[in-house]
């Protein structure tokens, strides 16, 4: 079931879907160029995370889906979105194009991250040198048949980030969460549960997927 509920916080609308318990570990799901927040509903990822006790938020990045464009650098835009939700100790899941938005946040002292899921993100060669030595837990997950972002980029991240788990999914494409969804979900959930092993989060089985517009960007 999907509910609609617009929210006003600042100045420019950002559309998002949210599900799971409000006190669950927050997981912010970004998207690639051809996709939107709706993709994570269609793949069942929002439901899977909610059933596991996580608070899952999928956003339409500005200029995509139902979110209008916004001014500012991509990383600053994402920081303002995170600030609007008042998210702390969150995990960012970043496929493809959203790497340009999110990779710099791995070492941003203003953002409280518990982990990062690199889903074949773009711009790894550009950002990997600046990430060197960062201790954040990272899951790097690629399809072995990715024609857009080669799996070798996972190795670049592994060289920079000492606390990285590298997963290459057999017969996986660039959006490996589409053609190898079950394996993708298993690895994602295992990583997230590893981060929250010390927390007592009770899954909310009666969750709804709520659809929102939130004003966050000036």
Confidence of residue 211 (pLDDT cuts 50, 70, 90): low
pTM for the model stands at 0.89
Query: In residues, how long is the chain?
Result: 218
What whole-number distance in Å separates Cα of residue 133 and Cα of residue 91?
19
pLDDT of residue 207: 46
Residue pLDDT, tens place only, 192-202:
999 977 454 43
Long-range contacts of 64-72, Cβ-Cβ distance < 8 Å, separation of 24 or more:
64/31, 64/33, 64/36, 65/15, 65/31, 65/36, 65/37, 65/38, 66/13, 66/15, 66/36, 66/213, 67/13, 67/14, 67/15, 68/12, 68/13, 70/12, 70/217, 71/217, 71/218, 72/217
Phi, psi dihedral angles at 6 (to 5 degrees): -75, 145
pLDDT of residue 4: 33
Which positions are catalytic?
Answer: 96, 146, 174
Task: Please tell me the CATH code under which domain 16-195 is placed.
Answer: 3.40.50.1820
Confidence of residue 114 (pLDDT cuts 50, 70, 90): very high
* pLDDT for 6 beyond 50: no
Domain parsing of the chain, residue ranges: 16-195
Residue pLDDT, tens place only, 117-131:
999 999 999 999 999
Radius of gyration of the chain, Cα coordinates, nearest whole angstrom: 16
């Amino acid at each position: 079931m999907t509910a609609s509920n617009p929210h006003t916080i600042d100045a420019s609308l950002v559309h998002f879907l949210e599900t799971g318990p409000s006190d669950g570990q927050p997981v912010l799901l970004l998207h690639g160029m051809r996709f939107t927040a709706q993709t994570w509903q269609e793949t069942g990822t929002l439901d899977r995370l909610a059933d596991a006790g996580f608070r899952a938020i999928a956003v339409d990045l500005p200029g995509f889906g139902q979110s209008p464009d916004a001014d500012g650098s991509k990383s600053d835009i994402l920081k303002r979105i995170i600030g609007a939700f008042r998210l702390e100790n969150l995990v960012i899941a970043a496929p493809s194009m959203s790497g340009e938005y999110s990779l710099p946040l791995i070492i941003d002292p203003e953002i409280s991250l518990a982990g990062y899921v690199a889903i074949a993100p773009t711009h790894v060669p550009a950002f990997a040198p600046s990430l060197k030595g960062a201790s954040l837990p990272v899951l790097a997950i690629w399809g072995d048949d990715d024609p857009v972002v080669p799996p070798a980029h996972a190795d670049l991240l592994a060289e920079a980030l000492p606390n990285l788990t590298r997963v290459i999914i057999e017969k996986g494409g660039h959006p490996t969460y589409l053609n190898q969804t079950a394996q993708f979900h298993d690895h994602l959930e295992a990583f997230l549960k590893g981060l929250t092993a010390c927390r007592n989060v009770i899954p909310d089985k009666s969750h709804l997927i709520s659809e929102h517009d939130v004003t966050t960007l000036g």
